[in-house]
Structure 1
Amino acid sequence: MLLNEVLPLLLHYWPLVLISALLTFLLSNKFYKGLHKYPGPWLAAYTNWWRFFDVWGRAHEWTIIRLHREHGDIVRLGPDVLSFGDPKAIKVIYGLNKGMVKSDFYPVQNAVSKGHRLQSLFSTVDEDYHAKYRRCVNNAFAMSSLVNYEPLVSSTLGVFLDKTQELYASSGRTCNFSQWLQYFAFDVIGDLTWSKRLGFVEENRDVDGIIAFLNKFLSYAGPIGQMPILDLLLEKNPIRLFMQRIGLSNTVFPVTLFAQTRSAERFSSIQKIKAFGLSEDEANPRGVDLLSKFAQATHDHPEFMNDTRILTSCVSMVFAGSETTAISLSSVFYFLLKHPRVYKKLMQELDDAVADGSIESRDNKTVSWAESQKLPYLDAVIQESFRVHPAAGLILERIVPPQGIDILGEFIPGGTIVGCNAWVLHRRPEVFGADVDVFRPERWIEAGPSQLKEMKATMFQFGAGARTCIGRNVSLLEVYKLVPSFLRRFEIELDHPEREWKTHNAWFVRQSEFNTRFRPRAD
């Protein structure tokens, strides 16, 4: 009876009803759990569309630096999202046993196979699942495993240097250096994961369009991750996934298909490892690859590590392992070329190390991991490059547990999304000095023990806490080997020194228009 009376009124006054509902929704966002006291863009308090469009603009790292410099240590980026700029927040937000879990930003980045999401170490929001998964594969990424992987990296490094000589140094052709370094990073991942280079360097092309796909996918994941519900309407639409599961649609992520094809080539040997484990009696001069390590994890943990998780681990290597390392490598070389004084000083260190025997004088000019660790200025240059241009350009989101938590002396209510951004943390003057916007490697050498400890604790390019990037040691191995080896082999110059490169924040801040020329370096 009441419905019969109310429904005509609602239909008659529907514009007013709609406007009232919208105003109620916006005001409830604005005053969500008392977060209205925190400053930020005015529109961000009402809707996540503000951060969606800002991230869509591909320069969010500069927006968030500006906002923190304007508003202080806590900035509101959405109705339920706070960004923290003080490094003291790292231990609370990302520390062990704090009850924080990843937000729905991360599942947007799940790969898909046959209509099923592939939960990776990186993308899962289930902490128990993550802990079990990490226990299975931790050994594969431990620092002690680097001795297994260095021969694989060295194999690709040698080919990369020779192809650089053939394609660019000998011909004088201009090189799209950021792309060329990405080809190197992909081939290293191929060698590390499957003991097989994937052909990016040898063929000087994007094999199977994988890089183009990743660029497109990350450009999607960055902004869509600001409003994850959009992913359920687009890529992860339940109807679309169901059609894949029942075979009406055969859509497979190209990266997933890529990993499946590479792994299938090793089917028989992997089945043997899963059944009997890795043989300690068989010496392998090229090192043990990650696929073998993942298969060993299945042998050791058959209750958890199955074929799907082996595939997911391989897909994760392609997704994250190549993109972030290529960005880091491009940063090191770019800042060297933009700062000739630093370039000259580093070359002097390398030449002196060869002269005193700290670096072996090899015919192909390569430098080993152990040798690179004896070069303090090289380390300072790499650390400063990580500081000035970290790969990740968005906050690493976590959800405050239901009971709430104290961060920087503020009680943050449960359900709030909180996080830190590496671009903000890496520019804290009280940690790194007043000249935080300047590329100056000397800061890492001049710092006293306590300041150096604080600087290292603030570095956030690999994340922090239990969810720190598991592949960081592999990435460091690539960077510390390639940079000195390339510099010993070639002289590098910018094609147009007066121009700045362009950056594109698609979750990871990749670079473009970084064009260079190479010349063989005289002994």
Structure 2
Amino acid sequence: RRYWHPLSHVPGPFVWSISHLPIWHQYVVKGGRLLHALPKLHDRYGPVVRISPNEVHLSDTTLYDTIYSVGTRFLKDPSFYTPMEGPVATPILLTVLSPDEHRWRRKMITPFFSRQSVLAVEAMVWDKANKFCDVMQSELDDASKTRPFDAYKALRAVAIDVITEYAYARCWHMLDRPADGYGIWYPEAIRSVQTMFPWLQTLPFLTPLFGALPDGAKIALFPPYKRWNDSLQAVRLAVDQVGAELARGSHPPRRTIIHHLMEPQEKGLRLDDAAVFADAVNVTGAGTETTGATQERAMYEVLRHPDVHASLVKELREAFPNPADMRWTLLEQLPVLNGVIKEALRLNPGVPGRLPRVVPPGGATFNGVYLPGGTIVSMSAWDMHNDPSVFPSPSAFDPYRWIQGTTTTAQQIRQREKYLVAFSRGSRGCVGQNLAMCELYCTIAAIFRRFDDLSLRVSSDFGPEDMEMTELVLGYHPNKRRFRV
């Protein structure tokens, strides 16, 4: 593997080049710190580094569009994506490898996530955002409660309530369940199941074996699967309710994604029941932790920077003397809010880590290094968002880097927008990004238009490392010590 392999000429650490264990170690033992280990390897070995027997990681951010673009010939790596099917035992849109099948399946749901479709349900998003503010107001006003408000849980409840209302026309009402931790069990289930992936990716023969086991055996072997199984049952119930509704010939006032997927499509084709369920799991899960975590990061950073906090409150109050007049399209025109949202996405991308692709037949050359066809090649949003040549002082939260002025030119902003790939790019980019952006703008605007006296409450040992990104597939904070308001 080291000396007689087609990638023997690619620089990289010895152990990484002969084994998958270093990547497994970064995920399992180090707690998802691969995205921090890779830049250190690039500092030592250059822009092209061999990180496993058949995988090469690239740090040259100008190459991103070569690999992740519409019509790319660099297809998804099955050894990375197929193990993600294990928990639902069937391909989801994220893991479909065939471009033709992916195109057909994406085409089915894309109209429901278009900007026009999201604008049509903006009132629902505002309802959830304002409900969050009502819940926080109630908690903070309750004299019998001395503990600050745990925004970590409630912000994820906003995301859950939005996506379930959007996908099924049946809200799960997590914001109404403070005794249940605002439904925190659901995002924790998503997090727990991802701890399986490094094992299945390192030992791929386990994927079909694990999928064939009954649920009881899965839970016995992997106790966190219990949470995941509970989440699957919740999604199954929602899908079954939609199916029963269609069988009765009744329809909700608003046609949803799941209603659409369960009905015949063009040429009489439709997804089978397993694929509908898998995509329902994908839509619900992907629409929860990613958006909730970015909202959390935005709120944390604004409260941590008094100057930004004051500027944002002032901007919102001057633009909207009546908060009922706030609209997503108008909020996008506010420079400070726009900068806050983009910085939160930059520092907290939903999927910060590497996205492996397969070099097409004939090979490809990157930075003077030839990679034969079949080589796995990867880049990451984290590297794009932390390129100091594009984002000076990349670890700093600086919403003003997105505002044209004396220190920032329009050309610099255009370049930064090109390098902001929180939703990836191309035909494999996040299909739900319009809904996510609507949620981010509405929720953050609702919070800071209503409240001007919020402050952070953190323990004495809380530090920057508590908000540092780690990743399984989705991005996370260690959350050993959470901030409160």
TM-score bucket of the superposed structures, by smaller chain: 0.7 to 0.9
SS, match of residue 96 in structure 1: coil
**1:515 maps onto 2:477 in alignment:** no
Please point out which of 183, 189, 192 is paired with 1:216.
192
Residues 160, 78 of structure 1: alpha-carbon distance in 2 compared, 3 angstrom cutoff = same
Correspondence 1:74-89 to 2 at 5 A = 74-89=48-63
Amino acid at match of 1:177: A
Which residue of structure 2 lines up, in the alignment, with residue 144 of structure 1? 116
Amino acid at match of 2:402: W
Provide the aligned C-alpha RMSD in A: 2.8
**1:267 maps onto 2:229 in alignment:** no
Please point out which of 454, 462, 465 is paired with 2:415.
454
Q: Distance in 2 between matches of 1:441 and 1:108?
A: 38
Q: Distance in 1 between matches of 2:326 and 2:203?
A: 44
Give, in angstroms, the shift of residue 395 of structure 1.
0.2
SS, match of residue 406 in structure 1: strand
Which residue of structure 2 lines up, in the alignment, with residue 289 of structure 1? 256
Q: Distance in 1 between matches of 2:141 and 2:5?
A: 59
Which residue of structure 2 lines up, in the alignment, with residue 380 of structure 1? 339
Q: Distance in 2 between matches of 1:208 and 1:65?
A: 33
**1:465 maps onto 2:434 in alignment:** no
CA contact (8 A) 1:54 1:60 kept: yes
Give, in angstroms, the shift of residue 89 of structure 1.
1.4
Which residue of structure 2 lines up, in the alignment, with residue 496 of structure 1? 458
Is there any run of 5+ residues in structure 2 with no aligned partner, and where? 219-225
Q: Distance in 1 between matches of 2:149 and 2:323?
A: 27
CA contact (8 A) 1:105 1:228 kept: no
Give, in angstroms, the shift of residue 469 of structure 1.
0.8
Please point out which of 150, 159, 171 is paired with 1:197.
171
Which residue of structure 2 lines up, in the alignment, with residue 321 of structure 1? 287
Give, in angstroms, the shift of residue 147 of structure 1.
2.0
Deviations 1:232-289 (A, max 9, x none): 27633x5669x99xxxxxx99433322110122233433477xx9x8xxx9x4xx543
**1:402 maps onto 2:355 in alignment:** no
Correspondence 1:119-138 to 2 at 5 A = 119-138=91-110
Q: Distance in 1 between matches of 2:259 and 2:120?
A: 11
Deviations 1:382-441 (A, max 9, x none): 1112112222232011111232123344321111111111111111122223x2222211
Q: Distance in 2 between matches of 1:36 and 1:348?
A: 58
Is there any run of 5+ residues in structure 1 with no aligned partner, and where? 1-27, 245-250, 518-523
Which residue of structure 1 lines up, in the alignment, with residue 24 of structure 2? 52
Give, in angstroms, the shift of residue 502 of structure 1.
4.7
Q: Which moved more, 1:300-309 or 1:462-471?
A: 300-309
CA contact (8 A) 2:363 2:371 kept: yes
CA contact (8 A) 1:219 1:507 kept: no
Larger Rg: 1
Q: Distance in 1 between matches of 2:326 and 2:90?
A: 37
Amino acid at match of 2:456: L
SS, match of residue 418 in structure 1: strand
Q: Distance in 2 between matches of 1:464 and 1:228?
A: 29
Residues 156, 293 of structure 1: alpha-carbon distance in 2 compared, 3 angstrom cutoff = farther
Which residue of structure 1 lines up, in the alignment, with residue 223 of structure 2? none
Q: Distance in 1 between matches of 2:267 and 2:231?
A: 26
Identity percentage over the alignment?
21
CA contact (8 A) 2:17 2:53 kept: yes
Q: Distance in 1 between matches of 2:268 and 2:129?
A: 35
Amino acid at match of 1:461: A
Give, in angstroms, the shift of residue 506 of structure 1.
2.5
SS, match of residue 56 in structure 2: strand
CA contact (8 A) 1:152 1:195 kept: no
Q: Distance in 2 between matches of 1:232 and 1:121?
A: 18
**1:235 maps onto 2:224 in alignment:** no
Residues 411, 133 of structure 1: alpha-carbon distance in 2 compared, 3 angstrom cutoff = same
Q: Distance in 2 between matches of 1:159 and 1:202?
A: 9
Amino acid at match of 2:261: F
How does the TM-score come out when normalised to structure 2? Answer: 0.86
CA contact (8 A) 2:262 2:270 kept: no
Residues 229, 212 of structure 1: alpha-carbon distance in 2 compared, 3 angstrom cutoff = same
Q: Which moved more, 1:88-97 or 1:169-178?
A: 169-178
Which residue of structure 2 lines up, in the alignment, with residue 339 of structure 1? 305
Amino acid at match of 1:334: Y
Give, in angstroms, the shift of residue 29 of structure 1.
4.5
Residues 369, 410 of structure 1: alpha-carbon distance in 2 compared, 3 angstrom cutoff = same
CA contact (8 A) 2:303 2:455 kept: yes
Residues 489, 234 of structure 1: alpha-carbon distance in 2 compared, 3 angstrom cutoff = farther
Q: Which moved more, 1:378-387 or 1:69-78?
A: 69-78
